[in-house]
């Protein structure tokens, strides 16, 4: 009986210590990507997460309301439904958005990127597409051979990210980029140089 009593007391003590440690653990308030559909309803902006029937009210906490301005540029204020990827913190039923990764008019939910694709960039006139992540960076251009180089994580310097390889240089600036042809807005502006050709476009994290 004494042994059982001691084991019970020890278990209760360990449980209490565990609960105290859990209570003492600081809340994770770091912004994370939120993927979902958005629509303006009256004076509120409603956000519905992908593959989830819940919804939140968006609160723009970005400097100078940059998130709202970006969303309005692709039709939110005009009543259009958007697919958006926002950097945000969820507090109760409020989504506090601090930055935009991308937003597209009448877009569909997309799966988050994997280790094989950390970034994507694209441009028009001439059309091009770049995917970076995993083991390689691949640049595709119509009528030209693909440029493929080994991938290493981009170097971050303030509001700029860069990558340099033998045949290719990629520079991303953390400034809004509008793709009028796709009716979309992105969080990064991209400049790619490959084999002496410079390409301009937009980029977003995956």
Span 32-105: which CATH code? 2.40.50
pLDDT digits (tens, 9 = 90+) for 136-179: 999 999 999 999 999 998 888 888 999 999 889 999 999 999 98
Residue 9 has pLDDT above 80, yes or no: no
Residue 54 has pLDDT above 70, yes or no: yes
* pLDDT score recorded for residue 114: 67
pLDDT digits (tens, 9 = 90+) for 69-83: 999 999 999 999 999
* pLDDT score recorded for residue 81: 95
* pLDDT score recorded for residue 189: 96
Residues 62/133/131/71 CA torsion (nearest 10 deg): -10
Best CA proximity match to 47, nearest among 82, 89, 77, 72? 82
The structural domains of the chain, with segments of one domain joined by +, span: 32-105, 119-205
pTM of the model: 0.80
pLDDT digits (tens, 9 = 90+) for 77-109: 999 999 999 999 999 999 999 999 999 997 888
* pLDDT score recorded for residue 10: 34
pLDDT digits (tens, 9 = 90+) for 22-34: 444 445 578 899 9
3-state secondary structure of 168: strand
């Amino acid at each position: 009986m004494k042994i059982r009593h001691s084991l019970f007391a020890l278990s209760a003590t360990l449980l209490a210590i565990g609960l105290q440690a859990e209570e003492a653990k600081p809340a994770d308030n770091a912004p994370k990507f939120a993927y979902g559909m958005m629509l303006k309803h009256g004076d509120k902006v409603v956000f519905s997460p992908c593959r989830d029937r819940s919804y939140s009210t968006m609160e723009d906490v970005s400097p100078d309301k940059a998130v709202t301005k970006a969303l309005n540029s692709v039709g939110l204020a005009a009543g259009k439904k958007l697919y958006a990827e926002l950097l945000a913190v969820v507090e109760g039923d409020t989504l506090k958005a601090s930055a935009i990764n991308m937003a597209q008019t009448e877009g569909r939910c997309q799966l988050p990127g994997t280790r094989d694709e950390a970034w994507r960039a694209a441009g028009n006139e001439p059309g091009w597409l770049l995917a970076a992540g995993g083991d390689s960076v691949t640049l595709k251009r119509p009528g030209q051979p693909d440029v493929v180089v080994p991938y290493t994580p981009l170097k971050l310097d303030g509001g700029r990210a860069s990558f340099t390889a033998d045949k290719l240089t990629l520079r991303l600036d953390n400034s809004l980029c509008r793709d009028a042809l796709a009716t979309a807005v992105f969080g990064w502006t991209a400049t790619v140089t490959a084999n002496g050709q410079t390409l301009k476009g937009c980029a977003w994290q995956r």
